Chains A and B, each alone.
Chain A
């Protein structure tokens, strides 16, 4: 840990800029949870937001080991590079990892594959089961309020009932930097330390801190086919269908999600600097560009969150 994030960079009072303020806020949130909850866990998907989340968590408790485990909800449709990255990170920092597997639920019949083959919505049940089986009382997520309109309404400490549900009309007021983590047995609190970050803040921070990411975020050549305006990778989830042509293109991913519903974008941006330029110039949001699951309805995200999804 120390070698990677401790640098000789001297921090004076003059460089307390937006990123430093966001970092301090996130670290404050991690420490509040460590101080007040019994069994917190970090949701880790291997994506850029959860990787930044983990980076901040490690900083919050340095030089002590991370006082939380990680939880990954594996849909069975992850890109192999993401799973490799997940395992590498776990090993590098000596972390504990829980995996909740959608595949297991499908195998024994507790879940049924959807007709459209999309597994993102299927994550909710294994996630809630893992939370209750492990008695996790605080669950960190990398959700950002700038991602989507219903996420914009999310509190930093967001209470979920025993069914894992979010009720946007009954949220607690959140005042100053005093977070209220009280909850009844069986309830838990979702905690979003990156609430106030934008996609661009995330990339600026990744560049500044040299955060290592899964390789799919950087431009690389891979066989892809086009579907609904997105570039999809073939995999266990199927595709290309008839009429969809496989071709090798230079692409990168803007978000990490289910392989069946998350697309890549055509890009030559192979390093942080190029990606920063690309993100700053993009006329599409990351979810609008590459997430099929948000296109279902005007309130798709809100509906999933009400069910217990992140």
Chain B
């Protein structure tokens, strides 16, 4: 089991996300005395009777002024069993792009709902986005449970509705857990609460500590080696006059000396001679690790190429369909000329047709939209100047994802997922 879990929060405004995150930090003793003092002082200044734990996380001036979270923030906490990197994302619709950012690396997402409101449109929108991004595990935190009468039946009702939603979106029942919580009072956060006798599952922290996740966070172990070449290491020093190593982080599979590999897109084949690290050679290296590969033949390889296992190497493509989350303020229209970054390769791209636009409310797509606006999700066709060796996003998050970048301003405009990801979400086989 991995001892590092990457997670994110999602939910709509005022569901108490920041309070929940503050509570997680507080209950895992990840908040130190001077931070508590600062929050207590600020709470007193605001005229509050008890310390407002959301102030532990909402640190920007504008956030404190408005009492909302504007930008994704990263928090760190640890228990004796695991370390956690938490992306705390804003709930406002206009900041959905930050939810996408936070969830793109998450192995688990805590979705919050207010027990008084239940599953709302924003919950459905977020669940659809999380399904699309292939987030493996979900927790529904039914917050403010202390504020509803007949909590048992309210919790049962919300759980049932959420389960229906997530199974429609393709999650297995084992990958989804609902927990009734009060972030404000700490019910079912660090320990099981006596106030919820109808709930017999683990507390939130118990669950986070024990939920099984893939260590490499790539979504699948079935793929062979995928190694985007980042940098060619050529010391040209007296000690290493002829050294030529290909540096990168393994995106999928594993590699060992003697493995036969193919360089993409050129298709040249050779063999791995050894795996170098500054700490010594490795007998085998798996996804997630940054290493340097030494190959038996002198072949032409440069940044942007992908070294792949011969057995299941992807076919380089220069024209393909993809799902995109549009993150730009100006809408995406057919014919747009953009930059596309896939792995370590950045190439020019032209958007062909807009095939469909996803309606998160109906969990269905409308064909031939005129444009994709901010936060829209849709399917497009793309042509690239240099072929990319991509996998289907559902097979691997790293080799199946790309960015669309504005060639003029340089901003990131779109998050792309290769393959029929959107169709899969529509028919409920997404995760």
Residues of A whose CB lies within 8 Å of any CB of B are 2, 5-13, 16-18, 20-25, 27-28, 31-32, 34-35, 58-65, 145-146, 148-150, 152-153, 159, 168-169, 171-178, 180, 182-184, 195-196, 198, 200-201, 282-285, 288-289, 298-299, 302-303
Contacts and interface: CB of A to CB of B under 8 A. Distances in A.
- Residue among A22, A63, A195, A282 with the highest chain B CB neighbour number at 10 A: A63
A288 B32 contact: yes
Interface stretch (B108-116, B124-132, B395-403): B395-403
Contact of B75 (A6, A148, A152): A152
A200 B303 CA distance: 34
A35 B288 CA distance: 19
B371 interface: no
Interface in B277-315: 277-280, 282-286, 288-290, 303
Q: Nearest 8 A-B pairs (CB), nearest first?
A: A149-B59, A288-B34, A182-B410, A64-B235, A62-B278, A27-B290, A24-B290, A173-B101
B401 A176 contact: yes
B168 interface: no
Interface string B38-67: 100010000000000000111111101000
A34 B32 contact: no
B105 interface: yes
Nearest to B103: A175
A301 to B, nearest CB: 8
A173 B415 contact: yes
B64 to A, nearest CB: 7
Interface residues of B, number: 77
Contact of A285 (B32, B83, B410): B32
Nearest to B251: A177
B74 A195 contact: yes
B253 to A, nearest CB: 12
Contact of B71 (A17, A24, A58, A171): A171
B303 A35 contact: yes
B238 to A, nearest CB: 11
17 contacts: A2-B239, A10-B283, A11-B280, A20-B289, A34-B231, A35-B303, A63-B233, A63-B243, A64-B235, A64-B237, A152-B59, A168-B62, A172-B412, A173-B412, A180-B341, A284-B33, A299-B59
A32 to B, nearest CB: 6
B4 interface: yes
A200 B32 CA distance: 13
A9 B34 contact: no
A145 B76 contact: yes
A274 to B, nearest CB: 19
Nearest to A184: B410
A277 B233 CA distance: 39
B144 interface: no
A200 B61 CA distance: 28
Given A2-B278, A13-B284, 9 more contacts: A24-B289, A35-B303, A58-B278, A65-B235, A150-B59, A152-B74, A171-B71, A172-B411, A282-B32
Contacts of B34: 284-285, 288-289
Interface in B375-431: 397-398, 401-403, 405-406, 409-412, 415
B97 interface: yes
Nearest to B304: A35
B319 interface: no
Nearest to A288: B34
B196 interface: no
Nearest to A301: B59
B421 to A, nearest CB: 14
Nearest to A297: B61
Contacts of A298: 38, 42, 64
B35 interface: yes
A259 to B, nearest CB: 21
Contacts of B248: 28, 31
Contacts of B280: 6-11
B97 A173 contact: yes
Given A32-B344, A35-B344, A173-B98, A21 B231 contact: no
A63 B230 CA distance: 16
Contacts of B415: 173, 175
A178 B83 contact: no
Contacts of B59: 148-150, 152-153, 299, 302
Nearest to A20: B289
A178 B402 contact: yes
Given A65-B235, A153-B59, A174 B4 contact: no
A145 B74 contact: yes
Of A58, A148, A177, most buried by chain B (CB within 10 Å of CB) is A177
Interface in B137-157: none
A176 B104 contact: yes
A35 B78 CA distance: 34
Contacts of B278: 2, 5-6, 58-59, 62-63
A34 to B, nearest CB: 5
Interface string B76-115: 1010000101000000000001101100110000000000
Contacts of B85: 196
Contact of B101 (A13, A27, A159, A175): A175
Contacts of B233: 61-64
B95 to A, nearest CB: 10
